[in-house]
Structure 1
């Protein structure tokens, strides 16, 4: 018999399943033990206990009469009687004798071969740590959303836990401490920040770190009224309300208001998908696979814009440059496609997603889109809308991804618009970058100084600026649409008073596209509604202003303005309802109080950080870092001073769970209602009831003053979080508390100079006042929701109005730009000629104007009799500028803007290509020459007779003979095969003679090749200057040594270069 504490016995058995029980002593627990029974033989009993006592002890252990059993009680009960009997038999003094038996086994009967392996018993799982309710919820969310950084709302803070706190916290500049729940040991890693700093840290996580962030908000626990939940502080549960990614921003403050925030889905064609990992940039010379179809779908969740388009693998780079997505979604089934390899090489932010929507199930789109889309059957949409299967698949994956990230948040997007490549000028990625249309070539800043967008931007609204960027990257090819835009600009120029009025009224509008989208997502607040109402009023003022100043001389301009006015829908009734309901003064007061609270919280955080720094210097870092979790219920105040921790001190200031934003001292004086009392009949009645209750309170205060004989400032009826509604008396000497109302007062606390009492009359009256206030708050939210619904009912009209405002803003901005810079209206036609007189580079001219220098204008007559220009001349003489300026003039003209020239007549261009400079691409192991050849190959394969091509120094980077040969081959292909307009700048002077020979040999029916050049003029004293004005002819001297001298090369290097050059000229 094994001896245990208190003499408990253990026996063994083969008949019963072992049961785990916990045995407790009188004062403290002892180790658990396994109690089993052996029906054949028992261990000898100890001499210290009698047989009866041992039997009783064993029975008590099994039956659990005195000890807590830690296993399933049903197992014990099922064997109770048998176990008791076997226990008595086991302790019997008579040992039964068993008969001996002899058994013989045949050798052949034994199993032959290798013995089968028996499965190993399962290892006991390690006991999982026991976390507090808050930390356990955070752990569950982290495990569920493994690819996200989880921010958990705890009172007035957002907190990071476990490994995420250690990984992300330092990058956010947060101090990582440890959080302990009650009964826990060392706790878990934790970092946090105040709730009002959420946008600041989201910007770092989402935009800078490109992380996905899951926001776990507080929701009332459905079991919060149960006593067991309240006792453990389980008043709130934390659920992920939304997942924020770089492409799914809605209304975050760090969003760029001047740029769209597009989320793009790329869907490679299933038939063309293979396991190849070759990117489009590394395809073989014959371009195999470059024409494979690719479906595109992209949306801006902040505005509701939704587009689709069919493209190819070869055109994917150009579409990415035009759209400029913040995030790209790829279906998991397309992970191993060449398109994904290309996107990875482009260093794009990729997210793989398993769609919950069938690729071609357009019926699943309807709940996520505006109602007008849902009226058409999916089959009708595919047939009549021209949507391809690849586009539908991309759209389904995109909507599935967005739906997952919104976590049940309602969403209404605009019906998808299918983009047709034929309707817009195509600008490939290389040209977009080389011409610096949206971003600078040097550092890639969107809209930075030096970009075309920055140069021509005169818009005053955010929506107008976003649309301007879209127009510049996708110019129109329809002459009618372009002329409508130009007519609008022309009328604004001719009517300066109208121009000034429209721009002034546009400045009074707000970003209605994003405001309306917030309403559709159920996120718009009272401030957004007021901004929307002001925009509606300004829109009506703009419409009235246009109606009074319609064009009278030009019929085309009149039709344009009438068309704009017809698209504007009058919504004065909606604006009036909003402004009559919402109390703007109350909103201002509320913002003031919130700003004050935020300032106090910021000051507290700064003070805590300062104290933390001092503690670190004094070697007391652990005292500041340690945070102990408190249950989520209010605790009574303890006497004595206690050093406040970061978390507990901040909570006292923030009061996050209170719906009241006022301090207790101010709460009774001012209540910042956000709705007028007349917003609804119910709200009017509630305010009247509250006014009556406040009168009753004043009567009670007057009665108390009369009975207490104290001055008015010493007696107050107040409310405190800990004591509720109390009578507060500031006086060392108490009044007579035996008569009148004071006789019913019950003391709840006192100090040397103050006394607090529960007064039944005030308790009842205060509760009624509190109920009235809560009823007003609830009715305000009800009215707010009704207004939101009314906005959603008019969402189509609001979006149409916003589109008109954007177009007016762009047109007015173009008019201001044309007047400032002296630009002219271009003439667009369906020909293939460029007739530009006095053309200038928009961006370069602006920079020279700032320096007080003059830009030299040049003409361009390419595409007519001469289909191609070969341009030679010295370095630094303006050849590249001339090439770029004509491309930019073409883009501006087809955007609908006036152009920097004295006269411009341009045939519609379908594509613009450029080869004007590259750099090594070491990431793909490609040299400068290889990059240039790939760009050149792309141009030759895609240029059409309606295209415009600019090429600068093709063939450099190799030997002179090889470079000349390649340049000649490219030139002849463009002249003979493509037949497009070409500006070809080169230092290979022999190309002119070569082209003239081609004309003589077989140039019948083809356009001629023109030769033009810039110059360098020297004076008698050895000085020289560049002549940027083009002249007809060939300049065979590049004057490279003079440019090298300007660059500051050492004298010896220059002298050697001149000697070598002179010897070369002598040899001929």
Structure 2
């Protein structure tokens, strides 16, 4: 017997063929259904029930589904787990399909391919971070990188050698990266290291000639020269993005800003390892909490937060740009009252960029329009507040961009209710009085009963029959009903000319009229008519808004600029940060510098942060010694972070700062193995160190911690020694070099550009106290045994370590042969008789005395006498 495939399943299989690598969300009424392998995979990923629906080729058809109204949450889960989702919608009313016959299937089609880099819904995105889709293209020997956030329209491109793709992708953290088919082996590791998913496209998508025509059509220009002079590789990368957006959005392109060409030379270069080490935007564990971004983000708008994220990821190297940003912060810092007003007013601002993008993709709603309306109105208030002071150029430009949308504001004010619904399909968002036809339809829809009651009164007056009533049921609709006693009058002329007999029951006779039929039709259709009118008005309003997208984009950027400057000013005043001096010298002079993240954490516990100086102007390399836990790593990082903050235009956590432009920052502080690539911790350390020595220029800032610690002592010392010499003689950069190899301190006498510094500690009663103060000089020892004691090693292990240390130090003083003899003669730990299971612990005299005291029995005089007695015991004069 031949198995028959149902028309609906045939439609599903036909649609699925076009998207073999995606899960197909197949719309069936109020659910998105999934079948076959898609259902099995989705049910497991979403933790939902797996059922079945009929058979195919003799096997049960697996099925699962999710409600349409809550589909976004399920979409996000699937995307985060690495799936792509093709969303298939019903393209017609099921009633229309029924008219074609009982076997007709509702027409469906895929309207969107959802991928990690093409999300636009608020519920699927982090409002305070970009969601970048990137593309890598190669034309001959030139490689280019382009990236877009379709939720905001930001589009940028740059030439980028393959060697630098890793650092750039680490900066952008794209969720998805497009490459040409066949190049996966070349780019897979680079993309995955940056946390993105790899998506190959046909090579034709990156054709620069056809791509240029496509881009010109998108931006409605005759040539891309209007936006800059792009190389063929850059055009190819932009073309790849455009082609992919046409595929995933089914031709409904997002609202893209004109492409901006970036130059790598204009921004501070920070490689992926350094970003992880400095924890600029996320911690090594992968979260935002505890990062520099988290510590300094005082912005109150989503656009301002995204701008901070971008700037922190790419500090500027242009003096003019940095100075303009500093001037804006300084102006607001000097006017705290105005800054407070601005920050309060900014809290009422909405996310213009994402609202515009949703409208352009037809995924928006009336609330997006209301958000745009409200933000335009709030921008006028911001403009008025800024007019109270003389502004530097950056703020003055932003202020000008806040106004100029009065016409659009008036339109939206007149058209929209104060609090519209989320979806246009719900209706009720157009304000009364805006459209006469809509008002009439709404009146008929909402006041149908009063219209019928008025008609009933007119019929009673016309017939003189007080018992006449207009009623309604689902079979006849509206009808006129009277008793049989009065029916004869209505069936006879002249009333029979108006009233048409419909039905006779046992006690009642029912009539209708032409006028009643017309009113009934209008009442029944009024709701649908009102909704149709609102949908038409929604489309018109959307078109009007999008026609102002360029000016609204400028407004959004102005709001972000003001928010960021105000947040920096607020932070500077609140936390005591200062404006750094930035110039083109090689200076690096920090007085009273502090680690912004650590200080923020300590502030919450009420603990003050110990500030420290750093002077790399005259001697560009400091060799830093001191024990573990003393704060060397914190000191290294804080100076790198101060440089980053200075070059994003912020004030810095210090008493004063003078920094010559830093071209690159390299950090190798801490390391872990990379088992996936077969690299040990030491290998990772050496790879990162090699990258620094091969790339750092004379304007770089390098921070290194414990180079060579992962191998034998003399191997490690020799590597650290040679590395420091290379930084001094070849790279000629500014550097902080922390080490436990005290032998290296002698290099300061041999290299003019090296100075010694140490982190101060004190010993007290066998314990080590960390002062966290950095001063010139060298550490006398590492205090490793004391730190081990603080860490909680068993006392017998600590005691044994002291014995071994003393023996090793004695041998060191007596020379290599003597050291070997001392070590050979040292008895093994295993040879030492073990302590009794419950051996009594010898107590000090003070502890013995306290053990005999009963505090509740002491008088005040006795307690005072006890304090003096204990003090004498402590000084050794007591008995």
What is the TM-score when the length of structure 1 is the normalising length?
0.70
- Among candidates 398, 403, 424, match of residue 246 of structure 2: 403
- Among candidates 40, 61, 66, match of residue 193 of structure 1: 66
How far has the Cα of 1:920 moved from its partner?
Answer: 0.8
Structure 1 segment 516-595 matched on structure 2, within 5 A: 516-547=356-387, 549-551=388-390, 557-584=391-418, 587=420
Q: Distance in 1 between matches of 2:374 and 2:533?
A: 24
Contact 2:316/2:648 (<8 A) preserved? yes
Match of 1:314 in 2: 163
CA 1:835 to 1:724, structure 2 compared with 1: closer, same or farther past 3 Å? farther
Match of 1:243 in 2: 113
Match of 2:613 in 1: 859
Match of 1:19 in 2: none
Q: Which moved more, 1:899-908 or 1:681-690?
A: 681-690
Match of 2:522 in 1: 768
- Structure 1 position 821 matched with structure 2 position 582: no
Structure 1 segment 51-200 matched on structure 2, within 5 A: 129-180=3-54, 188-200=61-73
Structure 1 segment 286-365 matched on structure 2, within 5 A: 293-336=142-185, 338-344=186-192, 348-354=196-202, 356-357=204-205, 359-361=207-209, 362-365=211-214
Contact 2:503/2:509 (<8 A) preserved? no
- Among candidates 217, 220, 232, match of residue 89 of structure 2: 217
What is the TM-score when the length of structure 2 is the normalising length?
0.85
- Among candidates 648, 651, 671, match of residue 898 of structure 1: 651
Contact 1:131/1:184 (<8 A) preserved? no
CA 1:799 to 1:344, structure 2 compared with 1: closer, same or farther past 3 Å? closer
Unpaired runs of 5+ residues, structure 2, are 491-497, 814-879
CA 1:316 to 1:1036, structure 2 compared with 1: closer, same or farther past 3 Å? farther
- Computing the radius of gyration over CA atoms, which structure comes out larger, 1 or 2? 1
Q: Distance in 2 between matches of 1:767 and 1:710?
A: 25
CA 1:212 to 1:961, structure 2 compared with 1: closer, same or farther past 3 Å? same
Match of 2:557 in 1: 803
Map Cα deviations across residues 981-1030 of structure 1 (whole Å, 9 max, x no partner). Answer: 00000011111213423x3xxxxxxx5211011132123x4343122111
- Structure 1 position 1012 matched with structure 2 position 757: yes
CA 1:737 to 1:139, structure 2 compared with 1: closer, same or farther past 3 Å? farther
Match of 1:678 in 2: 433
Q: Distance in 2 between matches of 1:299 and 1:130?
A: 47
Match of 2:591 in 1: 837
How far has the Cα of 1:521 moved from its partner?
Answer: 2.4
Secondary structure in structure 2 of the residue aligned to 1:678: coil
Q: Distance in 2 between matches of 1:267 and 1:754?
A: 82
Match of 2:854 in 1: none
Match of 2:546 in 1: 792
How far has the Cα of 1:716 moved from its partner?
Answer: 4.6
Secondary structure in structure 1 of the residue aligned to 2:805: helix
Contact 1:848/1:855 (<8 A) preserved? yes
Contact 1:1013/1:1033 (<8 A) preserved? yes
Match of 1:486 in 2: 326
Map Cα deviations across residues 189-234 of structure 1 (whole Å, 9 max, x no partner). Answer: 3222221011121111112x2211111111127994885x233353
Map Cα deviations across residues 290-321 of structure 1 (whole Å, 9 max, x no partner). Answer: xxx53111100100011111222222221111
- Structure 1 position 423 matched with structure 2 position 177: no
- Structure 1 position 1056 matched with structure 2 position 800: yes
Secondary structure in structure 2 of the residue aligned to 1:220: coil
Q: Distance in 2 between matches of 1:974 and 1:573?
A: 61
Match of 2:678 in 1: 925
Match of 2:495 in 1: none
Secondary structure in structure 2 of the residue aligned to 1:350: strand
Q: Distance in 2 between matches of 1:425 and 1:149?
A: 41
Q: Distance in 1 between matches of 2:313 and 2:509?
A: 73
Q: Distance in 1 between matches of 2:214 and 2:515?
A: 59
How far has the Cα of 1:735 moved from its partner?
Answer: 9.9
Map Cα deviations across residues 156-210 of structure 1 (whole Å, 9 max, x no partner). Answer: 11111223223322432322223359x9999733222221011121111112x22
How far has the Cα of 1:674 moved from its partner?
Answer: 2.5
- Structure 1 position 433 matched with structure 2 position 276: yes
CA 1:330 to 1:358, structure 2 compared with 1: closer, same or farther past 3 Å? closer
Q: Distance in 1 between matches of 2:116 and 2:169?
A: 16
Match of 1:970 in 2: 723
Contact 2:500/2:512 (<8 A) preserved? no
How far has the Cα of 1:724 moved from its partner?
Answer: 7.7
Contact 2:43/2:50 (<8 A) preserved? yes
Q: Distance in 1 between matches of 2:46 and 2:168?
A: 34
Q: Distance in 1 between matches of 2:193 and 2:408?
A: 50
Q: Distance in 1 between matches of 2:794 and 2:60?
A: 68
Match of 1:469 in 2: 309
Q: How many residues matched? A: 802
Q: CA RMSD in A?
A: 3.3
Match of 2:452 in 1: 697
Q: Distance in 2 between matches of 1:735 and 1:858?
A: 106
Secondary structure in structure 1 of the residue aligned to 2:782: coil
CA 1:434 to 1:269, structure 2 compared with 1: closer, same or farther past 3 Å? farther
- Structure 1 position 393 matched with structure 2 position 145: no
Contact 2:415/2:434 (<8 A) preserved? yes
- Structure 1 position 982 matched with structure 2 position 735: yes
Match of 2:769 in 1: 1025
Contact 2:97/2:104 (<8 A) preserved? no
Match of 1:72 in 2: none
- Structure 1 position 230 matched with structure 2 position 108: no
